[in-house]
Amino acid sequence: MVEVRLVEKTDLTMRLIIHGLDAAFLNTLRRIMLVEVPSMSINEAVVIENSSVLHDEILAHRLGFIPLKTDLDSYNLPEECPCKSELGCNLCRVVLTLDVEATEGKKTVYSGDLVPENPDIEPASHNIPIVKLAPDQKVRLEAYARLGRGKTHAKWQPVSMCTYKHLPEIKIDANRCDACGKCMKACPKKIFVDLGKRIEIRNLIECILCQYCVEACPLSPPAINVTVDKKAYILNVESTGALPVERILLEALKILGKKLTDFQDSLQEAPSEG
């Protein structure tokens, strides 16, 4: 039986403790989140005017790595769009314009200066610097964003971090431990608390299995033992801001389910030899 417990969640991050799954499944899920879940990114740019120090190609490259908020329900992947056009249409393409001039002194152009035709497809952060303009320099362009997958290019990855690890297990022998506090001082993550007559473990999931606490214990053998629970994992997911973090996880599960269904159908349709 699979058991999932939500430990921490913010607008961009989520941490889960999962029991009942193995490393192979979690690694598959991790890879799908990285390379299969679609997100929106600038794919082409038409530079109308650029008197900045950056070449047009460098400017377009920097635009491509600005995370854009993504609406998966309203837009199609280019290869799945009914328009079948290289130029795209309103169902598979979003136009963003940039028109900035340094009229008074130096000026920094930020991602927030991009103006999207659809307000829902805007930069996830408005504070990403694009280029610095000297007095009288100007940048004017049109950028075209489309859905894509991380397996095509890293700019379409919806996650900036996606990792899993075993859930740590720390056991303290209360009969032998004299609460000297040396393990507490040695721990880089500060997961031990001195309660006077005993040492208590707090925030176990922050343990990085460095074994410093075990090495610091003056007893032989040490009164503290650090291992892992081989049946439990910590899953950490961080979104770039393109999609809500829970939507990324749900989309990954949906894609995995479709792959398994397609594989099952292929087995049933496969001709037998002999």
Per-residue pLDDT for 203 more than 90? no
Rg (CA), the chain: 26
Return the percentage of the chain with pLDDT > 70, whole number.
99
Q: Chain-wide mean pLDDT for the chain? A: 93
pLDDT at 274 exceeding the cut of 60: no
Model pTM score: 0.87
What is the mean predicted confidence (pLDDT) over 68-96?
A: 93
CB 19 within 8 A of CB 2: yes
Pair 240, 156: CB distance under 8 Å:
no
pLDDT of residue 227 exceeding 90, the answer is yes
The CATH fold of domain 3-35+160-237:
Gyrase A; domain 2 (3.30.1360)
Angle at Cα 112 formed by Cα 110 and Cα 116, nearest 5°? 125
Task: Give ∠ CA 115-120-124 in degrees, rounded to 5.
Answer: 75
Please give the single-letter amino acid code of residue 177. Answer: C
pLDDT at 70 over 90: yes
What pLDDT band is residue 273 in, cutting at 50, 70 and 90?
Answer: low
DSSP string, 7-33: EEE-SSEEEEEEES--HHHHHHHHHHH
Could you report the per-residue pLDDT of 87-121, keeping only the tens digit for each? 889 999 999 999 999 998 999 999 999 999 999 99
* Burial (0-12, 13-18, 19+ Cβ within 10 Å), 244: middle
What pLDDT does residue 229 have?
Answer: 92
CB 92 within 8 A of CB 121: no
What is the average pLDDT across 16-20? Answer: 95
Question: Once rounded to an integer, what is the mean pLDDT over residues 170-184?
Answer: 90
pLDDT at 148 over 60: yes
Q: Residue 100 has which token pair? A: 């900035």
pLDDT higher than 80, residue 182: yes
Confidence of residue 191 (pLDDT cuts 50, 70, 90): very high
Domain limits, CATH 2.170.120.12, in the chain:
42-155
Share of the chain above pLDDT 90, in %: 83
Distance CA 66, CA 45 (A): 13
- State the DSSP H helix or E strand holding residue 100, giving kind and residue range, or none if neither: strand 94-101
Residues of the chain with CATH 3.30.1360.10: 3-35+160-237
Query: Distances in Å between the alpha carbon of 78 and those of 32, 33, 72, 88, 175?
Result: 19, 19, 12, 7, 65
CATH value of 42-155 in 3.40.50.720, 3.10.450.50, 3.40.50.2300, 2.170.120.12: 2.170.120.12
Q: Determine the 3-state secondary structure of 238 from DSSP.
A: strand
